[in-house]
Chains A and B, each alone.
Chain A
Amino acid sequence: YLQSFFWSDSCYVSHTNQQRSDNEEQGGHGEQRSSPARLSFGKKQLPPIPKNAAPITKPASTGTPTQSANGTHASYGPFYLEYSLLAEFTLVIKQKLPGIYVQPSYKSALMWFGVIFIRHGLYQDGVFKFTVYIPDNYPDGECPKLVFDIPVFHPLVDPVSGELDVRRAFTKWRRNHNHIWQVLMYARTIFYKINTTEPLNPEAAVLYEKDVHLFKSKVVDSVKLCNSHLFDQPKIDDPYAISFSPWNPAVHEEAKERMFTYKRRPEDHHKGTQVSGLSWVKPGSTQPFSKDDGSPQS
């Protein structure tokens, strides 16, 4: 149910921005297809009992209950990891990284789907889908992996696996200092500022150094290739995987409409239980009832 917490926000973000970028750059190139699962989520709601609350990946131990102090910790461990990832995701949303959209997978919060739009430079018009894999001992493990669906022609991207060399930027993953948004940010940076030291794709590195023209044309080809596969089914079958489809008014028009008329989701969501606070404090003052309409007894 991780996604159920946040899918709507993220979905919204990606939709809107995608729309915008489409209009800006690609002239109605395509609208992200809404998966049926998403549509069915009208509102964020935590089911009273999680779908998979019963132990499935780990059989209940037959051992006698231990009374160790970290027993509690252990039992709540999943919550901590889940909330750590949610917090990371929240930070991503807050960062409003230009041209980058991510969505945790339905099946595992440790896997995020993403897409990056390149708006300037050598890779202009590139739309690269990728997947982020987060180690399951996060945040104490290594840095997350970022793998492009299609290996982009780039010195730092493995030409076979499509994996981005993230580790050079995060030699050691430090909790509290490193966040997943930084990885995403880094993924964006490489397309604007090209680094050729210790490349994963030596060919690209060498070309960039020796023959920029050829490099450029290779990049253009790569971008074209990626974009031509845009409407492919997602590599990983997941309800929350990001997929594109050509503009279809029957499907997208209404969603687009909603997007642009959208004000604040939480408000209409909670209309029923609207609680409005009170304040008579004048901004900048720390005295109660300091607003001009003042207190009646004065």
Chain B
Amino acid sequence: MMASVVVGGNRKKSLTLRGVDPETCMIVFKNHWAQVVKILEKHEPGRSGTGALSFLSGHGSSSGALRLGPIPADEASAVQNYVEHMLFLLMEEEAGQGGAMGPILEFVVLEGVMERLFLWSLRRQFTEDMKLEQLRMYQMLLSQARQPLLHHKPVLRPLMMLLASCAGPGTDSGGVVEAELVLLLNQLCVALVKDPSVLELFFHTSEDQGAANFLLFSLLIPYTHRQGSVGQQARDALLLIMSLSASDPRVAQHIAENTYFCPVLATGLSGLYSSLPARLQVYSEDWHCLDQADWQQVPALVHFLHSLDFCSAVTKVAHPSIRSQLLGYIYNGFLVPVLAPALHKLTVEEVMTTTAYLDLFLRSIPEPALLQTFLSFILLHTHDNVHILDTLVSRVNTPFQLGTVSLALFRTLIGLFCEDVMLQLVFRYLIPCRHLSRKQFCSLKQRDCYSSSAASFLLLMPSWCPGNLHNTNTHSEHIHWPKGADLSVSDSVGYCRGSDFLMDVNYLHYLWDARQAISTSHRACQLWSAPYDGINPLPQEYRSDTPGDDIEDEEEIVPRAKSDSISSLVVTPPPLTLSPTLSSSDTISTGNQAGRASSALELEWDDIFADDDLSLSGVLSTTFANGSMTMDVDRCTSTPAPPLPPRHIQEMRRTATKLVHGSYVEESEFQDDVLVYNLVAQTDTKAAILERIMAANRRARGSISNGQRVSTTTTTTTIATMLTTTGRTVMETVNSIMSTRRWSEDAGKEERRWSDDYGQKVRRRSEDCGKELWRRKEEGEDEIRRMCAQGEPKGRQFFTNGFNAKHHIIDECDDTDEANKPFKQNCNHGDLITTVKHKHTPHQQHIHHNTQHPMPQSMKNTLPNGHSESEPRDPLVSATAAKSPNLPGNNVTNKDDFLSRYHKLMLSLGVEPDCDDITDDISTFRKRVRELRQKLEEEEEGLDEELVYSSLWDDREEEGEEEVMEEEEEEGEGEERRSGSKKGSRRHGVPFTGPFISVLLSRLENLLENSIAVNLLVTGILAQLASYPQPLLRSFLLSTDTHNLPNVRTLYQVLVSVNAQIERYVAARPEYPALVTQAWRFLLAKDQDSKFRECLQPQGGDIILDPSLPNGSVRNALALPPLSVLPPCPPIPPQAKSRVFAIVLYAEFLKELAAIAQEHSIALDCSSEE
């Protein structure tokens, strides 16, 4: 082997050419060459350059054709020997005077030595080994030659030919050639960067080969996404060329226009992404993001990150034209077609996984330009007409791990200090300052000189908290600094300190951290375009920013209101998209009508805030009758866009569309809940609401005998919100049913928490609904009648879809319902809730009946391709659901039994964090649930009233026509609700502070029920938001002003409400204060300990913390308090753990906020104030 001989050939040479006369070397070289030529010529058909080129043009076949016959081995090895010597001489030769070629090089160039050698290697069998020889030969020459060789075409040309011939696909076995090839390419790139003048030659040489342009570069492209050192080398080499492109427009132009570099990079990302695990095995429910330890275990992820990193590096160093091309491809070739659908996959785990990936990507991208691409994807791209950002925000409120992961994603986003992100998430809702009263607006820029916010926050500390253990019977509340006269006496400043030393120290830490956070934020935000201080951007300007917005009067504030969003929710016809399995004739036949309807819908959007004129309802009901078609056609045919409606309308429409399109039942449900939030917040009217609900209920039941209209009404209203938010195709529905199922398998542990959560929401919703319902009932009945007359066959199609969606919800409701009861009792939320609960259940009962029967039909109709596995289950579930204990009386009798069993069940599932065996448990769990259901079923069987209801509904249901009618009624009810909420929203004219803040606050309000991870994330995000220096945000989050505009929900209000929850909760549990205090002390001590260790670390190095060190080691002499000094972790019952910690966290969060407020008040660098 030539190369190996070359490499190992030094043994023959004494490496001491120094001192040897160059003349002699030249003579030796020439002699050798003469010998070589003799052999070459013997086997060469003719010496011509065209020969070489023809080799290249199709080296595979032509080299075979040209072979004249086998070359004797002795001749081959003779050539090898000579060449070896010659190369050595060439490498060792010094450049001539003034950079001229040395004589040997000159000879090589003149004689075309390299080219002839290349041809010779072709002449022999051009095997992999031969390629290796040649490649290594050039590697050696390049790395060791003392004079530049690449400037000379006779050297460069055969090199290029060699490279081209090595590039052939599939010739390589084991990748050895590839490795050598890439190494050589890398060397060449290094040479290029060192001496850009060579570039010229590379291009020219390439031109000789016609299409093969910038060969060097083209050869590297296939290795872009290669793993391992070969890939790394190739990427390094490519980066070298990229940096070259920044200074050489020709290279840039070539790469951008003549190569597939950018598409390859972007599609490579897509390819690598597709090989990522679609679902991550997550072992802990506290898990919320992929940290390094996580992703390093997933090779595919490591690989992807490398490529992403490469893209990032390219955007950093490459010429702007390449950069923008690459970013464009990444946007249009990866983000939009790959990541967007991945974010909308059908199972919660998949979406959760995608979200975690997105979070990881955002954290791994160091280059602003690439980050911008990702961010603009998140902020501006719409998937199914919904902005990705909105979808992500809505997911924060999902009770599953998806919610936790989404929170982590937002923590990342918030941590970027990106104005664009913050603008979309928060500021655009705050800029108009509608959430501020006049007084508040005026004091926007004032500092809170006397720490009154901090004091208010700290006053929310639960009364029995350790923080309050301070002796309060002090003589005065004032600090006792020595006064002027005393100064000589006392030399120090003192505080009054209570016994809880750690508490105080810990507060100082919060102050310090707050100071850091604020100054970090401040510095990071110096780049921003505006201070967001209520003056810049101008509140009015923002409003006139959008066309058609200027006509807004105070009435128009309404659209931004949360409750209005609710109304928008309700307005939207449930199933937006048609299932692909629907017969096309249906669609076509309704086409015209749909067109009309869609315009009616437009109207509706615009007029929804106009006076609730009844004449409008006619239009609306038409819309509804065609509901499903309408939207579909609307989207498919993309009718010429009408003049843009005002911004708020657009926004509302978007929200509604989003909700309807929401891929997840959970998502939309909880999203919806956020919007209900404000209405619910009006606790003072609760009693009244309750009254109404009860009245409505009584009436509903009473009217059943007359005809089922009213009861249907009640039913519908109860679930109307859910229904409308879950509109979806049949396929989607079924899929999500399945996914829910899968979810329930995986999330057994979460179930309890979730259902608690959910229960509350259902309660709220029902309150809400009840309220609206009552108001609009009579009107609604009229509506219904009218609609019954109008609604015809299309309605049926529509409702079939509707049923599925509904059924799904009910399915979940059912679980929730069961889960709910123990919670209610546990939580001791008081009579009100229980009553509401009871009132609520009859509604559900109706739902069950309502949907039970149509469901299987529609399944069969629309899903011939058989998702059969969901069918057997669903009737069962519905049946169970239908017979679940709905009537108050039954509830009472069954509750205890049920409760205790449920408790057992939950305990058996454990709130234990170790959940490796979750899959084992799941089957047990499911079995138990089934048993439970069966038992319940049996128990319900004898309930007369129940039976009456059932039979009633069963009878009706035999007749298809009637069924449709009923559904019409339901729609009418939706209608009714719409107008109802319209009125409501007007009343509540709510300045909307944006979904993100709402969602955060709503999660915060659930503090007691959240997992520790969620609470940490929520409080962490809020604290970081509060550290932002912009007065608009700062004042909104930190203001403890209780004179807020109606329905402005502030952080402080939520904290007050959580405080009340805690006090209530603890009041019923005398053991809690001690438990919490113990846990608190433990956590503080632990925290202090770790801080202490941190402090010592720089001195002692890492080793100091090494637990493996023997106790007697010197380093331990540094007096680290041994862990045993810490108070023991109190024995907290596992089921209480998250609540106990939540309470501790709550108190600590108050301190954190107080500290942030205090530090804001003394921040020097509030640019806005200068």
State yes or no: do A and B come from one complex: yes
Q: A80-B454, A87-B449 are in contact. Are A277 and B480 (CB under 8 A)?
A: no
For B1139-1168 the 0/1 string (1 means CB < 8 A from A) is 000000000000000100010011111000
B-side contacts of A74, CB under 8 Å? 470, 472, 474, 477, 496
In contact, B417 and A61 (Cβ under 8 angstroms): no
- Residue A220 at the chain B interface, CB threshold 8 Å: no
Chain A residue nearest in CB terms to B537: A286
A-B pairs with beta carbons under 8 Å apart, 30 shown: A46-B508, A48-B512, A48-B1091, A52-B493, A52-B494, A53-B497, A53-B508, A54-B494, A61-B474, A71-B467, A76-B1154, A78-B496, A79-B511, A84-B449, A107-B482, A108-B493, A266-B519, A274-B523, A277-B523, A277-B524, A277-B527, A278-B368, A278-B416, A278-B420, A279-B420, A286-B537, A286-B545, A288-B421, A295-B331, A296-B324
Name the interface residues of A83-107: CB closer than 8 Å to any CB of B.
83-84, 86-91, 93-94, 105, 107
| Interface locus among A119-127, A129-137, A196-204 | A129-137
Whether A296 pairs with B328 at a CB distance below 8 angstroms is yes
One digit per residue, 1 when the CB lies within 8 angstroms of any chain B CB and 0 when it does not, for chain A 194-237 equals 00000000000000000000000000000000000000000011
B518-548 to A contact mask, C-beta < 8 Å, 1/0: 0110011111111000000100011001000
Q: Which of B61-69, B137-145, B483-491, B844-852 contacts A (4 or more CB under 8 A)?
A: B483-491
Asked if B520 and A273 sit within 8 Å, CB to CB, the answer is yes
Contact with A along B429-455 (1 / 0, CB 8 A): 001000000000000000111110011
With A58-B494, A87-B1162, A236-B484 known to touch, is A295 a contact of B372 (CB < 8 Å)?
yes
Task: Check if A109 sits within 8 Å of B496, measured CB to CB.
Answer: no
Residues of B within 8 A of A86 (CB): 1161-1162
Is B373 interfacial (CB 8 A cutoff)?
A: yes
Assess whether A171 is interfacial by the CB under 8 Å rule. no
Is B424 in the interface zone, CB < 8 Å from A? yes
Q: Does A27 contact B (CB under 8 A)?
A: no
Segment among A62-70, A162-170, A184-192, A250-258 that sits at the interface with chain B: A62-70
Contact A46 B519 (CB under 8 A): no
B472 and chain A: residue at smallest CB distance: A71
The residue on B at minimum CB distance from A45 is: B512
- Is B372 within 8 A of A280, CB to CB? yes
**With contacts A137-B478, A280-B420 known, what are 19 further pairs, Cβ within 8 A?**
A9-B1164, A52-B494, A53-B497, A60-B497, A68-B472, A69-B459, A74-B472, A75-B468, A75-B504, A76-B507, A79-B511, A83-B454, A94-B1164, A111-B487, A175-B449, A275-B524, A278-B416, A278-B417, A288-B420
Q: Is B258 an interface residue (CB 8 A)?
A: no
Quote the shortest CB–CB distance from B325 to chain A (angstroms). Answer: 9
> How far, in Å, is A9 (CB) from chain B's closest CB?
6
0/1 interface trace, chain B 454-469, chain A, CB 8 Å (1 if under): 1100110101110111
Q: A133 to B794: give the CA distance in the assembly, Å.
A: 83
B381 vs chain A, min Cβ distance (A): 8
- Judge whether B509 and A48 touch: CB under 8 Å: yes
Closest-by-CB residue of A relative to B1158 is A83
A288 with B471: CB separation less than 8 A: no
Q: A277 is contacted by which of B380, B416, B479, B488 (Cβ under 8 Å)?
A: B416
Q: Are B478 and A50 in contact (CB under 8 A)?
A: no
Q: Is the CB of B477 within 8 A of A66?
A: no
**Closest 7 pairs between A and B when the two form their complex, measured CB to CB:** A277-B417, A296-B327, A277-B524, A288-B420, A56-B494, A279-B419, A61-B471
* Complex Cα–Cα for A179 and B418 (A): 36
Question: Across the interface, which residues of B come within 8 angstroms of A114, CB to CB?
Answer: none
Say if the beta carbon of B892 comes within 8 Å of chain A: no
**Given A76-B1154, A108-B482, A286-B428, CB of A176 within 8 Å of CB of B524:** no
Is A246 at the interface (CB under 8 A from chain B)?
A: no
The answer, among A61, A82, A136, A284, for a CB contact under 8 Å with B483, is A136
Instruction: Pick from B373, B447, B467, B1163: contact of A297, CB below 8 A.
Output: B373
Q: Which residues of B contact A175 (CB under 8 A)?
A: 449-450
A62: min CB distance to chain B, Å: 8
When chains A and B are docked, how far (Å) is the Cα of A26 from the Cα of B770?
81
Is the beta-carbon distance between B482 and A75 smaller than 8 angstroms? no
A297 touches B449 (CB 8 A): no
When distances are taken between beta carbons in the complex, the residues of chain B under 8 Å from A68 are 463, 468, 472
| A65→B1164 contact, CB < 8 A | no
Interface size of A by Cβ–Cβ distance < 8 Å? 87
Q: Are B494 and A49 touching (Cβ within 8 A)?
A: no
Q: Does A193 contact B (CB under 8 A)?
A: no
- Which chain A residues lie closer than 8 Å to B332 at the CB level? 297
Q: Is the CB of B372 within 8 A of A279?
A: no
In the complex, A72 has a CB within 8 A of chain B: yes
With A284-B537, A289-B376 known as contacts, the answer to whether A66 contacts B455 (CB < 8 A) is no
The CB with the most chain B CB atoms within 10 A, among A52, A72, A73, A77, is that of A72
CB distance from B1059 to the nearest CB of A (A): 11
Contact status B523-A275, CB under 8 Å? yes
**B484 with A282: CB separation less than 8 A:** no
- Answer whether residue A11 sits at the interface, using C-beta atoms and an 8 A cutoff: no
How close is A215's CB to chain B, nearest CB, in angstroms?
31
The answer to whether A286 and B472 touch (CB under 8 A), given A238-B487, A296-B324, is no
Tell me if A77 and B478 are in contact (CB < 8 A): yes
Q: Give bound CA distance, A235 to B482, whole Å.
A: 17
Does A285 count as interface, using CB distance less than 8 angstroms? yes
Evaluate contact between A176 and B493: CB separation under 8 angstroms: no
A133 contacts across to B, CB distance below 8 A: 483-484
Kindly provide the distance from the CB of B694 to the nearest chain A CB, expressed in whole angstroms: 36
Q: Which of B336, B423, B469, B508 contacts A281 (CB 8 A)?
A: B423
Taking CB atoms, residues of chain A closer than 8 Å to B1170 are 94
Residues of B within 8 Å of A288, CB to CB, are 376, 379-380, 419-421, 423-424
Chain A: minimal CB distance from B538 (Å):
10
CA distance A131 to B487 in the complex (A): 14
**A110 nearest CB across to chain B (Å):** 5
Bound: A41/B509 CA distance, A: 20
Cα–Cα, bound, A182→B410 (Å) = 44
A279 in contact with B470 given A48-B1091, A53-B501, A58-B496 (CB within 8 Å): no
